[in-house]
Chain A
Amino acid sequence: MDPTVVSLPLPTLPEGWAAEKDFKPVGKITKDGTSQRTIEPVGPHFLAHARRARHKRTFSEDDRIQAQERAKNVEEDNDSDISEPEDPMMLQREAKDWKSQDHYKVLGLAKYRHKATEEQIKRAHRKKVLKHHPDKKAAAGRTEDDNFFKCIQKATEVLLDPTKRRQFDSVDEEADVEPPTKKQLANGNFYKLWSRVFKAEARFSKNHPVPTFGDEKAAKADVENFYNFWYNFDSWRTFEYLDEDVPDDNENRDQKRHQERKNLNARKKKKAEDNARLRKLLDDCSAGDERIKRFRQEASAAKNKKRFEREAAEKKAAEEAAAKKAAEEAAAKEAEEKAKADRESNKKAKEAAKNAVKKNKRVLKGSVKDANYFVEGDASAATIDAVLGDVELVQGKIDPDEIAALAGKLNGLKVSDEIKSVWKGEIARLVAAGKLKEGEAKVLA
């Protein structure tokens, strides 16, 4: 063989790759990477192989038997699987009633039905032919009754034609699984019973894979997917098989057309009924499906939980807001009250101070009166005016504290000179402080 030429390049050697003699064994041929098979002893290349293999050696019978046993067999036994007993009633069937015959049963494939493979059907057919061919019966001296043989032929004709087989499978009641009754369901097994129903229905699906029913532990998504799929089921089921015979002669064209139209309508009606049947099945099933209830409860529980949480949160927020508002109000009130109290106490203080000032002023005035205005005998009005004028002058220049201090110094003094000296001192202080001009106070200085 000429070597193949490959244009895609080999990779460059990775940095640092090293091996003894530049060769590194890594693995072995995968463990079950070989099988024993038989090569055909044909052609020039086999001759070369045989020469190499034998190499002057003769193989014993044992060798050949052993080798034969090891080799993978590609031919299987033909007389395998199909061996259902034949119902004697079935063997009596009239071929002309083929429409009502159970084609699978006729071929001994009753337990396979729509699941029978084409190869199984062919094998079953052959097996039945070997047994029931009328020529064989005749050869054995039995009557040449070929009725059942014709049934076999018809069954094969229907089942090997994919279109006809679908038509038959569409109305194969033997493959139907009735929905469980209430009584059956009462014993539990809800999932098992319905699973069987849908497994049987699934044979009509155009789409694959068909989701299975699952059990009580199925996840929500799977259950939803199941019902979704089935409520939108796309079925190939057809009802031609139940058509009434259309007259075959050319004479009665109108009658023929009439029958065809009737059949067509009947098919449509049956199809619609079948769709409705499936829908009802689903309604019934889903109505009893505890999983749906559970999911609903779980969903509503989840929803409730959320609502509770939300409400609690809202309540809390409201409470917090109220508390905050109350606190703010209290604080404001307090502040206001305080301000009021402050104001009031201020007023009092002011008044007190005012009173004190008044009182002290009285002391100040009283002091000069006590000192008889610093004259002997009755003081003249002018003197009194002048003295009081000075007193008021001084009063006007000093603040209440100074007035109080002055009053304090004057309080209790009766001696005119002492009083005068206090006044003199005060005026001197004021003059020194620049609050009074020299000579401004005329009499008390």
Chain B
Amino acid sequence: MADNGPKTGPAPGDRTVIGITFGNSNSSIAYTVDDKAEVIANEDGDRQIPTILSYVDGEEYYGQQAKAFLVRNPSNTVAYFRDFLGKEFKSIDPTHNHASAHPQESGETVAFTVKDKEGEEETPSTLSVSEVSARYLRRLVGSASDYLGKKVTSAVVTVPTNFNDKQKAALTAAAAAADLEILQFISEPVAAVLAYDARPEAQIADKIVVVAELGGTRSDVAVVASRGGLYTVLATVHDYEYAGVALDKVLMDHFAKEFLKKNSGAADPRENARSLAKLRFESEATKKALSLGTNASFSVESLSAGIDFASTINRLRYETIARSVFEGFNRLVESAVKKAGLDVLDVDEVILSGGTSHTPRIAANVSHIFPQTTRILSPSTETTAINPSELQARGAALQASLIQEYDAEDINQSTHAAVTTVPHITNAIGVISLSESGEEVFVPIVPPETAVPARRTVLVAAPKDGGDVLVKIVEGNTHIKVTKPEPKTKENGSKAAKVEDAGDSDDDSDFSDDDDDDEEKREKVWKIGATLAEAALRGVKKGGKVEVTINVNADRSVMVTTREVGGKGGVRGTVSA
């Protein structure tokens, strides 16, 4: 971290810590009680607090109230600014700021010009994005302090995985200006994983987790290897095309067209800034309603040229018109898995995070990519799922409570590369068992992409009659076995049919594709690799069990320990690196 100057944070004992998600669209604050994370509702009762500031008559508004001013006071309202922190003007995307204060170049950074003081004679102020962030964070922290009844001093803050050091430094400075110590930045997907892993019923296991964070203006997917509670990000993809606002746009277009159909001759509400703002505001509300109900209403007073407009839409219609966006999410998730060098069959869990993840269709579509055995953690697919909008803040709060006792320097030392960069084994290590048909099969003990040193134990059945047992330790690899279905006999007449559907194939053509019918069967199978060691365990009791423990050391040497469960002695040996 490139923060300059001496840090004068509070002493560990004096801290009051929270977790903060400082999102581009929304932010959240959370704290922990009795190891449980809770997201705090602000004074407006919001747990997802729009990352927006608005100035009216010298009065500062933030959150939902500021968002409401996007209709009446857009030029003095600052929204979608988080991603501009630590960036130069030439590398920012101003798309989402069109309906609010526009970003402008200001030296090395980006700024907004708003009238933040009362009085006709006051000139507008140019606020750097750091200043805007500081003001916003102050409001967030103030809200948390009010709730907790004591001044919040420090926070763990979530950031996207591609937030660079410059951006982090800018955020640290903005927080400092708001009198907030940032204990640590943690990446958004890992915060979501931690939120799930910290649940009391959660069991620490080795698993591959895909975290799909579908937000307002961007979607980020990360593939995380979760290994005994240590998390390694294997791949990430970032996307600025398919996100919540793309779904808003679909509904905006839909209702605009409905409006024009009903009011022929009226002006298109999309052509007028104010009408457009109203359209956007209500479309988003309708979209959220469609996540819960199968029907939602849309109603705007004086949508265009004084004409009120009310309509309804059912979920099916919505899912039809938004199909191409939904499909974009699916492709994004698939591309992340591919980028990690994995197959969908390798994925144990998918965590859907971010506001857009409330959408049932998205969860259903994503679940279709993966095998039945993959858990899809979203409200519509798993009743015990955590609210996707709260995952990051909860993760941040949990991390904050974990490290609040540490000196800043201690945290700094513990989180830097010398500690976090560690060797990972790329092949699995396991033991050979026999299948029912007597063939050798690989039983993984330490999965691939596990950070070392690592230690894992399995209990394996002994041969039926006991006796002397061979414990053979090998490397293993997975590959995907594809079984093609029996080819269908449709040779005759297929030629003619082809010409036909080529002629009038339309947008629905991939639905009628007959690929779906003859789906091939794909399964993940382990391949036995090189043998690392053999050990003999003698005189095992009939019906006994054998415990095999593998220790992979940091130097890549492997220690094998095996003994009969409940027996004494055992065998131990080391394979050198």
Contacts and interface: CB of A to CB of B under 8 A. Distances in A.
A362 B233 CA distance: 143
Interface in A269-321: 271-272, 275
A54 B416 CA distance: 11
A35 B186 CA distance: 23
A202 to B, nearest CB: 17
A29 B231 contact: no
A10 B469 contact: yes
Interface string B405-424: 00000000111111111111
Interface string A42-65: 111111011001100011000111
Interface in A409-437: none
A359 B406 CA distance: 161
B499 A12 contact: no
Q: Which of A46, A236, A240 has the most CB of B within 10 A?
A: A46
Contacts of B237: 119
B262 interface: no
Interface string B423-447: 1111101011111100011010100
A7 B186 CA distance: 40
B417 A46 contact: no
Interface string B532-561: 111111100000011100001000101010
Contact of A33 (B413, B426, B458): B426
A43 B187 CA distance: 12
A43 B229 contact: yes
Given A43-B402, A67-B421, A139-B103, A3 B533 contact: no
B475 interface: yes
A163 B571 CA distance: 62
Contacts of B445: 4
B171 to A, nearest CB: 17
A30 B94 contact: no
Prevailing SS type, chain A contact patch: mixed
B324 to A, nearest CB: 5
B232 A43 contact: no
Given A125-B241, A133-B95, A29 B571 contact: no
A3 B427 contact: no
A140 to B, nearest CB: 7
Contacts of A129: 93, 95
Contact of A29 (B441, B471, B475, B502): B475
A24 B535 contact: yes
Contact of B197 (A14, A43, A161, A264): A43
Contacts of A88: none
Contacts of B371: none
B250 to A, nearest CB: 12
A240 B194 CA distance: 49
B496 interface: no
B568 interface: no
Contact of B456 (A1, A42, A135): A1
Interface in B199-252: 203-206, 224, 228-237, 239-241
B360 interface: no
Of A3, A4, A21, A39, most buried by chain B (CB within 10 Å of CB) is A39
Given A5-B459, A122-B239, A50 B89 contact: no
B102 interface: yes
Given A37-B232, A138-B102, A28 B532 contact: yes
A47 B530 CA distance: 34
A119 to B, nearest CB: 7
A89 interface: no
A41 B577 contact: no
B125 interface: no
Nearest to B510: A163
A44 B229 contact: yes
A267 B499 CA distance: 11
Contact of B420 (A25, A26, A33, A38): A38
A58 B413 contact: yes
Contacts of A1: 203-206, 228, 456
A240 B505 CA distance: 9
A130 B92 contact: yes
Given A43-B197, A45-B204, A58-B413, A53 B399 contact: no
Contacts of B415: 41, 50
B221 to A, nearest CB: 12
Interface stretch (B65-73, B308-316, B349-357, B460-468): B460-468
Contact of B335 (A64, A67, A119): A119
Contact of B423 (A21, A36, A161): A36
B229 A14 contact: no
B419 A54 contact: yes
A87 interface: no
Given A39-B451, A49-B230, A238-B502, A3 B459 contact: yes
A267 B504 contact: yes
B177 interface: no
B503 interface: yes
Contacts of B530: 27, 30
Interface string A168-205: 00000000000000000000000000000000000000
A174 to B, nearest CB: 23
A140 B110 CA distance: 12
A6 B229 contact: no
A44 B198 CA distance: 9
A74 interface: yes
Contacts of B324: 161
B532 A29 contact: yes
A6 B536 contact: no
Interface string A77-118: 011000000000000000000000000000000000000001
A17 B236 CA distance: 48
A9 B102 contact: no
Contact of B230 (A36, A39, A118): A39
B94 A13 contact: no
Contacts of B239: 122
Given A3-B459, A139-B104, A23 B571 contact: yes
Given A4-B458, A139-B103, A37 B435 contact: no
Given A1-B228, A17-B536, A234-B498, A42 B191 contact: yes
A41 B463 CA distance: 43
Contact of A26 (B98, B413, B533): B533
B63 to A, nearest CB: 24
B273 interface: no
B576 A25 contact: yes
Contacts of A234: 498
B294 interface: no
Nearest to A13: B468
Most chain-B CB neighbours within 10 Å: which of A75, A79, A131? A75
B75 interface: no
B14 interface: no
B512 to A, nearest CB: 13
B575 A6 contact: no
Contacts of B134: none
B161 interface: yes
Contacts of B490: none
A274 to B, nearest CB: 9
A70 interface: yes
A272 B91 CA distance: 48
Contacts of B436: 8
Given A29-B425, A40-B187, A49-B422, 16 more contacts: A1-B204, A5-B458, A6-B461, A8-B434, A11-B469, A23-B535, A33-B556, A34-B425, A34-B426, A38-B420, A41-B184, A43-B398, A59-B418, A68-B417, A119-B335, A160-B328
5 contacts: A59-B413, A130-B91, A135-B98, A136-B94, A162-B510
Interface of B: 89-95, 97-98, 102-105, 161-162, 184, 186-187, 190-191, 194, 197-198, 203-206, 224, 228-237, 239-241, 324, 327-328, 331, 335, 395, 398-399, 402-403, 413-427, 429, 431-436, 440-441, 443, 445, 449, 451-452, 456-464, 467-472, 475, 498-499, 502-507, 509-510, 529-538, 545-547, 552, 556, 558, 560, 571-577
